[in-house]
Amino acid sequence: MADNQAAAEAQISEALTNWSSALGRRDAAAVEKILPADFMLVSPDGKLFTTRAEYLEVVKNFPGETTVTGKPAKTIVMGDTAVQSGSYSVTPKSGGQTMNFNYTATLVRRNGRWMPIAFSTRAVTQK
């Protein structure tokens, strides 16, 4: 069971890393291949995107390339569903302030592949 958990966690981390890399490159076509059509996201400002298509329209208009780095804190796998929480940072490649966020991602395994199905993120405020 521990081997299955470790394998699932590695596949989940890979899926989220691929998504982060595609977002950093502003590659909407790659994002579209990673996310299922029924994907949902709650953005840091509280906006709800209820489909992948709606989210992709926003991705296409992101300004400039960034580096997105993540750090998972906890992953729970229950059969073909998993929830991961953690943090990530977004750093503009052209310089500028790094922004930090916390997230909760729900993933499902479909056709042997882990895919983010729901993602909620919030900005970490500096004190």
Residues 43, 57: Cα–Cα separation, whole Å: 14
> For the chain, how many residues are written?
127
pLDDT digits (tens, 9 = 90+) for 59-94: 888 888 899 999 999 999 999 999 999 999 999 988
Question: Contact, 82 vs 5, CB < 8 A?
Answer: no
The pLDDT score that the predictor gives to residue 121 is: 95
Residues 118, 94: Cα–Cα separation, whole Å: 30
pLDDT digits (tens, 9 = 90+) for 17-53: 999 999 999 999 999 999 999 999 999 899 999 999 9
Region 99-124: mean pLDDT is 96
Contacts by residues 55-58 (CB-CB < 8 Å, ≥ 24 positions apart): 55/31, 56/28, 56/31, 56/32
Q: Domains (ranges, CATH) in the chain?
A: 2-123 (3.10.450.50)
